[in-house]
Amino acid sequence: MTVVPDIFPEKTDRRAILSWALFDWAGQPFFTLITTFVFAPYFASTLAATPAQGQSLWGYATAAAGLCIALLAPVLGSVADASGGRKRWIFVFSIPFLICCWAIWYAAPGNPHAIAIALTAFAIGTLSIEIATVFNNAMMPSLVPPARIGRLSSFGWAIGYASGLVTLVIALGFFAASPETGKTLLGFKPVLGLDAATQEGDRVVGPFSALWYLVFVLPMFLFVPDMPHKARLGPAIRKGLHDLAGNLSRARSNRNIFVFLLANMIFKDGLVALFAFGGIYAAGQLGWGSIEIGTFGIILTITGVLGLVLGGPMDDRFGARPVIVFSLIVLMICGLGMISIDKTTVFFVIKTQAAPEGALLASLPEQVFIGLGAAIGAVSGPLQACCRSLLVRLAPHEHMTQYFGLLALSGKVTSFLAPLAVGVVTALTASQSAGMSVILVFFAVGLILLLLVKERPGG
């Protein structure tokens, strides 16, 4: 039996807390398996004509989804606050999400519509799960007192990271196999008779993510208390849009919230680019394939969980802002270290010998790269968890969904800028390291702005 850690007061409903956190557990495979480590590399290397074309098309789909999220999230959040009830909105957006996950299976080699299916399913699936997450986040203040928001947020993120780790091990160990050997990362033949030659193991992560979500999102619907319905949809839309305009104006006039949302916009752009190009950079600079990248992903996920275990108590003790500041400093230091590495060089000037042929992650550059990546994984989770707990402390609770919509807006509205900057600088310099260095600028500017934000102790 799963038990929520003893971090909440007795008066809180632990079953509701665990059920709320299981939403992150339910949705994480989409981000881990489809967006990052399994399906996205398959799309770029197999479906697209070239990896460069695949990266470009994937970027366009990501930008399209981000733009739609930016437009819809704050509006729908305002409507939900006016009408009451967050669960029905999560239900509405869960339906297209499940359909899109299942559609991933049909993006098969040889299918003339495979690229269109993959990009459409990815973009609409991303839009759906991100919007649903806005409503799930907005339920946080009803679950714990303000002094426990940081631990609740980190607990949810940790549950999500753990889900990513479990599903990544399942996918790489039992589904996805090398076309050359026909074996998975654990040395097995793919289960369910999945054909390695046509990379069915890479595509089955779509239906697998759908089933995983369907099973584990149910406790949220059953056991998490929801707001009462306050108005019919028509009047709620009019009131919600009116309230949104007022909140946008108040956000601009509220220096704390405005500067925080601006900082969040900038450093989240950098984080999006870091994860979008991290695997590509490792493949180009270190010559890694799917096994190495998959192993790297597992390590990052493990350190992410460990970071969240520490990040929640640190958030509640010292505040969310100091944890975010520390995380950004670590990201900049480790990011600088990573761009200093290639197959035979560490920290720009230290020359090393190449690893023996066939040795897995045996060279010094690879090991240093993994160490730096592990540190990035450890602070990335607390960074994102503390952003939503900081917003809870800054925003008025009666308009919480609207402000989480604005948080989603700030995190997505310019999400194309950092990846675009990386691409342009890489093209101009013909250097992956120079291109990736742009990300450090986004972290630095976001950090400077965040230092101007004042956090209310305890909410």
Share of the chain above pLDDT 90, in %: 24
More confident residue, 369 or 83: 369
Rounded-to-integer distance, Cα 194 and Cα 313, Å = 44
Specify which residues 351 forms β-bridges with. 345
Those residues with Cβ within 8 angstroms of residue 266's Cβ, 6 or more apart along the chain or in another chain: 414, 442, 445, 446, 449
Q: 202-257 pLDDT, tens per residue?
A: 899 999 999 999 999 999 999 998 876 665 666 666 666 666 666 666 666 667 78
Q: Which of 104, 108, 154, 107 is nearest to 126 (CA)?
A: 104
Q: Which of 92, 74, 95, 94 is nearest to 138 (CA)?
A: 74
More confident residue, 347 or 451: 451
Dihedral sign, CA of 387, 392, 395, 401?
positive
Q: 263-308 pLDDT, tens per residue?
A: 988 888 888 778 767 766 776 677 776 667 777 888 888 888 788 7
pLDDT at 8 over 50: no
Rounded-to-integer distance, Cα 115 and Cα 50, Å = 13
Q: Say if residues 372 and 338 touch (Cβ distance below 8 Å).
A: yes
Q: Over the chain, what is the mean pLDDT?
A: 80
Measured from the Cβ of residue 182, the count of other Cβ atoms closer than 10 Å reads 13
* Banded model confidence at residue 327, pLDDT cuts 50, 70, 90: very high
* Banded model confidence at residue 404, pLDDT cuts 50, 70, 90: low
* Banded model confidence at residue 63, pLDDT cuts 50, 70, 90: confident
Q: 405-422 pLDDT, tens per residue?
A: 667 666 666 666 777 777
Q: Say if residues 85 and 138 touch (Cβ distance below 8 Å).
A: no
Q: What angle do CA 337, 338, 344 make, to 5 degrees?
A: 100
DSSP calls for 76-140:
HHHHHHHH--SHHHHHHHHHHHHHHHHHGGG--TT-TTHHHHHHHHHHHHHHHHHHHHHHHHTTG
Q: Looking at the chain, how many residues does it have?
A: 459
More confident residue, 233 or 136: 136
Q: Say if residues 365 and 345 touch (Cβ distance below 8 Å).
A: yes
SS3 371: helix
More confident residue, 454 or 325: 325
* Banded model confidence at residue 330, pLDDT cuts 50, 70, 90: very high
Mean pLDDT across the stretch 420-443?
Answer: 79
Task: Point out the least confidently predicted range of 150-154, 211-215, 293-297, 389-393.
Answer: 150-154
